[in-house]
Chains A and B, each alone.
Chain A
Amino acid sequence: MRMAELVMGVVMGIFSLYLMWKSAELPIGWIPGEGPGGGAWPFWLALGMLLCCITIVIRWAKRLTPQSRSKEVYMDARAFRLFLLNAGALAAMIGLFHIVGAYGAIPLFLIFYLRYMGRHSWRLTGTFAAVTPVLMFLFFEIALQKTLPKGFTDPWFEPIFAFFY
């Protein structure tokens, strides 16, 4: 935990510097008669972020915060595995949105989660994986007229739209 606190402080400090550099693309100073320039607001706030990060690191060095005194492991093997599984499954689902579309990715995600993570019966898994996309289609595409990404499955939906309209 102690190590993680330092790493986070330093990484966010570097990120603040990046934000400052990026903000400086627009004028960051005071324009006479007009007030602050376009980059001033984010620049000085990012500087504030940097100062906070420096304080966090100083407090870490002085062991002032509970995290900087903690000897616990930041992420044990179990936490790491859970994180990888969940975040990985989410990333995979979002990635699949681009390829097989929402109506392919969502059932796959549900099957993975319910069957593999939750160890539910195939019957329950199958029901959820089949019903959720149908309900989502009816709710979003038909009722709300918001099209979700469909990837290469796009042409398959033409007859479905022809049926509804």
Chain B
Amino acid sequence: MKPFIKLSTITLGAIIAFGAGTIAGSPDARAEWKPKKPVEFIVMAGKGGGADKAVRFMQSIIAKNKLSSKPFTPINKPGGSGAEALIYVKSARDPNHTIMFTLNSFYTTPLRQPKIKVDISKFTPIGRMAEDTFLLWVHKDSGITNVKQFVKAAKAKGSAWIMAGTGKNSEDNLLTDFLNKAYGLKMKYVPYKGGGRVAKELAGKNADSTVNNPSEQLGFYQAGKTVPIAAFTPARLPLFANAPTFKELGKDFVYFMQRTVVGAPGMSKEAATYYRQLFAKIYASDGWQGYMTKKSLQGGFITGDILMRYWLKEKAIHKVMLQKMGALK
């Protein structure tokens, strides 16, 4: 129970901090800006993926609770690891009606593709809705139950040990590189399109291990096909209490995937306030809280300058990580 309490205190703290921030920071918050037409909700990933599901879920919360008079219409722009979405939002025709749902590719794509000339500090921070977590998964039939056995089995197989993940130089690839370095392994990384497909490859024994998000493996885990053996989180996840953290195992490595709403650069102050309040309401709704518990999502709602500082910090961390793995020149 201990980790769970910790999580909820963090969450609660963040909400209070946010609430205080808005009251103290902007006395004119009731400037009553409202969208005048349907809002374009850009998704940095394809239809049916984790980010897309989350956006459509938020869209349903907005509609169900009548939080906005104008509809929010999701538009998928998965091209170029999100490069297409970033370029589109950067030069949005109407920044007051353009928001975007982002992942960690928000930092990595501009770093890896300097050609697109995207400066994330120009974007308007709206709200971080959650941080998704990562675990190390193996197939149940492999008989592996802890990291020690995993390392032994992977060492024995050498480069024939297949680690499936979503795309080259993606979050999954970063974690694979970490594991290879930390334990002296030579696992081969095979990229697939989408986390669902990766999860299926492990369940179908076409891969030996994965570093999926909980939501992607949950179905197979419950069916007894796959098991998590360790978590890349600061504390054990309540849903997978048997999986120790890497910190406990002596490797200080924590990694999250942000799930954040970003506004177009040049969005007016009034509009930004409106969206911040809207997404704070969504975050606090029963629907979203239930979704977070079910998908084992963590992290409190942060916004404004705090969110911007978080981005810049994460960007710097990712820059170092990408340089280490040789993805940046």
Contacts and interface: CB of A to CB of B under 8 A. Distances in A.
Indicate if A touches B (C-beta under 8 A).
Answer: yes
B38 interface: yes
Interface residues of B, number: 11
A165 B70 CA distance: 6
Sort chain A's interface into a size bin.
10 to 19
A76 interface: no
A161 B159 CA distance: 58
A147 B73 contact: yes
Interface in B81-98: 93-94
Nearest to A154: B94
A162 interface: yes
The secondary-structure label for the interface of chain A is: helix
B37 A157 contact: yes
A127 to B, nearest CB: 28
B73 A162 contact: no
Contacts of B69: 165
A165 B71 contact: yes
Given A165-B69, A165-B70, A147 B38 contact: yes
B36 A162 contact: yes
A145 B38 contact: yes
Contacts of A146: 73
Contacts of A158: 36-37
Contacts of B73: 145-147
A161 B40 contact: no
12 contacts: A145-B71, A145-B73, A147-B37, A147-B38, A154-B94, A157-B37, A158-B36, A158-B37, A161-B36, A161-B70, A165-B69, A165-B70
Q: Which 5 A-B pairs have the closest CB atoms?
A: A158-B36, A161-B37, A145-B73, A165-B69, A145-B71
Interface of B: 36-38, 40, 69-71, 73, 93-94, 159
